[in-house]
Amino acid sequence: MDHTANVMDRTEALLIEQAAQGDAESFARLYDIHVKRVYRYIFYRVSDISVAEDLTQEVFLRGWKALPKFRKVSNKPFVGWLLTIAHNLVIDHYRSRRMESTLEDDIMTADTATDPQQMAAVGMEQKRLQEAIRQLRPEQQQVIILRFIEGFEYSEIAALLGKKEGAIRVIQHRALKGLKQILDKDTGQ
Amino acid sequence: MSAKKEDILARCIEDVKSGRSSVEDCLKQYPRLSDELEPLLKLAVTIKPAPEVSPTAAFISRARSRLLADIHAQQPVTKNLRVRYTLMKAPLLSQRRFKMAAIVIVIALIVASTGGGTAYASQDALPGDILYPEKTFIESSRLFFASSDQTESETHLQIADNRIDELARLPAERSRFVERLMESYQHHIQQGLDSAEKYINQGGNASGLLNRFQERMVYHQGELNASCNRLQVEARHIVRVALNASGEGLENANRLMVSAHLENAVRHMAQVNEKARTGKIDEVSGLLHNYERELDSMITAANQTEDAVALLEGSRERLRIAFDQIPETIPEEASDAIENARLRTMHGLDKAIESSGSGKKLGKTWEEFKFEWGAFMNQSQGEVEPGSVEWQNAWQNFELEWEQFMYQWQGNTSGPAEWQYAWEEHNKGQHDSGKNSSPAQR
């Protein structure tokens, strides 16, 4: 690990420690550091700005409440832990929406509600892939996003999900197979 | 066998992504699995990190303020002060973002320059320790980069907390540092309250912030008292001075709390005015409810101050002006509700002013009495509430709600028409405490 990363990690540890003791301002600084990454993770999965904003806000509020629990599990990277909360919220979001509509409707709604500038940045091919990922099982989605989109190591993902590294590689294999099937089906192959 | 296939896929993905080998190289290494590996490997390579999709700056700022407000709203409050703040005003976005980034960098630099763990370890440092200058430097940095008057005020309070903690842990042989500690404590309490006042003047909702000041300063006074008994004689005088300053600070926090609730009430009334004028009648009753809640909290807060009458009279004038600004042309369904609120406000404030004005003049306070006669009186008189006042050889707590006052009207056990008459000067001497009393009406 380079020196800068090391310093930042120590700074983060200090902020976490202070926040866990009830210092709201320290937690606000953690928010400053990680808000963009959490937002990006959620946006990638919901493709809706207002939903991404609401869920991002909720992630940090839940993070604050659950901070004492996080401190007991020292092997998890803090941002990864936040993304796990984000993952659960995204699942809850789709569950609640499924009460009113189908998943396909969700995707259609998400497309039409998306900001054109942001979607242009995503790119059509990636967009198709993004939609396909959203159709995977939640755990598979999480592994694919954490590994390929967010760039976490297998060991980190394993720590975040409370599984062994071997299990993560199995999930990744199944997820890629599932993804291939979804994409082939879309293109009529 | 199946597990191995997954491991091979994972290894190939890593090699290809890191550029150590190509898809073709990997497939050549595992010819038996190449049919299955090839499409998965090619697919994995196409999944790229998410592009830089960023939330808007306005959202980042708004969500941050909301997060802090929610956090503070979850923190415990005293029983007496019920209103907690629900909205916090965010300062200019660019300023906040810059400052937050800067403070992270400063802390990072401190950590880097001192070898890492020292910044953390300095949190527990005491005056005279090697790490103590680092601790105070971090505190100063936090103040320097405070992003708003509210944050600045909170930081001052945290630093004052630190001084009290240090005093409590200071070994007797380091008593020479007491003066410096207490000077710092008084400075940060004063500055913290000044920043809170600025925050109120800028339209911020400071009730939660002031609530924390009140709670912490009551705690500080307990700690300062305890330290007095522990420290060497020459240091005690210094702590007593700080104790007095803390008492004055608490009184100032109480006064500011009245201002905070008053400003909130005025703000709600301005919203009522706007909604009524624009015909959004259905929103008026909710706003009036909020307004009256702030009004109640303001009266409660004023009664905790020594100059309640002056504060309440000033508030009454301010609210009178706020009501006067509402035009008569607003729809009738709103005007009735607003007029009722106005009448309740004026009546409630008049009664509060009346009771605050006379109740405290009737006799000595329990604290004054105890000071004259010694602490043994506490036992002979039984449990006496702080702030109680001597009257007719009994101790009455005028700080409590009127209905908690036990009362007997001489020769007329039905009691007075209203509790407020009990406090009138011409009725002095006609009342006595007794168990059969109750007011005819409240």
Instruction: Give the closest of B44, B52, B97 to A176, CB-based.
Output: B44
Look up the domain containing B410 and give its range: 366-432
Instruction: Give the closest of B67, B101, B158 to A60, CB-based.
Output: B67
Q: Are residues B163 and B180 located together in one domain of the fold? A: yes
Q: Are residues B240 and B331 located together in one domain of the fold? A: yes
Q: Which residue of B has its CA nearest to A132?
A: B47
* pLDDT > 70: percent of chain B: 68
Q: Are residues B256 and B306 located together in one domain of the fold? A: yes
Q: Set out the domains of chain A in order of their start, with CATH numbers.
A: 3-186 (1.10.1740.10)
B22 touches chain A (CB under 8 A): no
Q: Are residues B298 and B383 located together in one domain of the fold? A: no
Q: Are the C-beta atoms of residues B308 and B356 closer than 8 Å to each other?
A: yes
Domain boundary (B359, B378, B394) is at B359
- Does the residue B279 lie in any domain? yes
Q: Are residues B324 and B221 located together in one domain of the fold? A: yes
CA distance B113 to B97: 24
Q: Which residue has the higher pLDDT, A168 or B143?
A: A168
B68 touches chain A (CB under 8 A): yes
Average pLDDT, chain B: 73
Type of residue numbered B258? V
A53 touches chain B (CB under 8 A): yes
Q: Are the C-beta atoms of residues B16 and B30 closer than 8 Å to each other?
A: no
Q: Pull the structure tokens for residue B201.
A: 């003047």
A97 touches chain B (CB under 8 A): no
CA distance A57 to A54: 5
Q: Are residues B305 and B415 located together in one domain of the fold? A: no
Minimal C-alpha gap between B32 and chain A (Å): 17
The answer on pLDDT for B438 being more than 80 is no
Q: Are residues B160 and B304 located together in one domain of the fold? A: yes
pLDDT in tens, B338-381: 888 888 898 888 888 877 754 444 445 555 555 544 433 333 33
- Judge: B120–A17 Cβ closer than 8 Å, yes or no: yes
The answer on pLDDT for B384 being more than 70 is no
Q: Are residues B352 and B410 located together in one domain of the fold? A: no
- Does the residue B69 lie in any domain? no
Domain boundary (B343, B359, B375) is at B359
B130 touches chain A (CB under 8 A): no
Looking at mean pLDDT, say which of A44-58, B87-101, B420-434 comes out highest.
A44-58
Rounded to an integer, the average pLDDT of B292-314 is 86
- Does the residue B89 lie in any domain? no
Confidence band of A188 (pLDDT split at 50, 70, 90)? low
Q: Which residue of B has its CA nearest to A119?
A: B53
pLDDT in tens, B399-411: 333 323 333 333 3
- Does the residue B141 lie in any domain? no
Three-class DSSP category at B282: helix
ipTM confidence: 0.74
What pTM was estimated for this model as a whole? 0.43
Confidence band of B442 (pLDDT split at 50, 70, 90)? very low
Q: Are residues B309 and B396 located together in one domain of the fold? A: no
Rounded to an integer, the average pLDDT of B51-69 is 80
pLDDT in tens, B200-233: 888 888 888 998 998 898 889 888 888 877 777 7
pLDDT in tens, A75-105: 678 888 898 899 888 888 877 765 444 333 3
The answer on pLDDT for B386 being more than 80 is no
The residue of B6, B14, B118 whose CB has the most chain A CBs within 10 angstroms, and thus the best one to mutate to test that interface, is B6
A181 touches chain B (CB under 8 A): no
Rounded to an integer, the average pLDDT of B390-398 is 47
Other residues' Cβ atoms within 10 Å of the Cβ of residue B403 = 10
Confidence band of B163 (pLDDT split at 50, 70, 90)? very high
Range with the poorest average pLDDT among A7-11, A27-31, B368-372? B368-372
- Does the residue B127 lie in any domain? no
Rounded to an integer, the average pLDDT of B49-63 is 77
Minimal C-alpha gap between A100 and chain B (Å): 27
- Residue A176 has a pLDDT of 93
A95 touches chain B (CB under 8 A): no
A173 touches chain B (CB under 8 A): yes
At a CB cut-off of 8 Å and minimum separation 6, what does A65 contact? Answer: B74
- Does the residue B333 lie in any domain? yes
Domain boundary (B31, B46, B61) is at B46
- Does the residue B221 lie in any domain? yes
Q: How far is CA A53 from the centre of its chain?
A: 13
The answer on pLDDT for B147 being more than 60 is yes
- Does the residue B153 lie in any domain? yes
Q: Are residues B342 and B384 located together in one domain of the fold? A: no
Q: Are the C-beta atoms of residues A110 and A46 closer than 8 Å to each other?
A: yes
B57 touches chain A (CB under 8 A): no
Q: Which residues of B touch A179 (CB under 8 A)?
A: 43
Q: Are residues B184 and B304 located together in one domain of the fold? A: yes
Minimal C-alpha gap between A90 and chain B (Å): 17
Average pLDDT, chain A: 77
Domains identified in chain B, total number: 3
Q: Are residues B352 and B382 located together in one domain of the fold? A: no
Q: Which residues of B touch A172 (CB under 8 A)?
A: 6, 9-10, 13
A153 touches chain B (CB under 8 A): no
Q: List the one residue out of B350, B380, B361 whose CA is nearest residue B425.
A: B361
At a CB cut-off of 8 Å and minimum separation 6, what does B18 contact? Answer: none
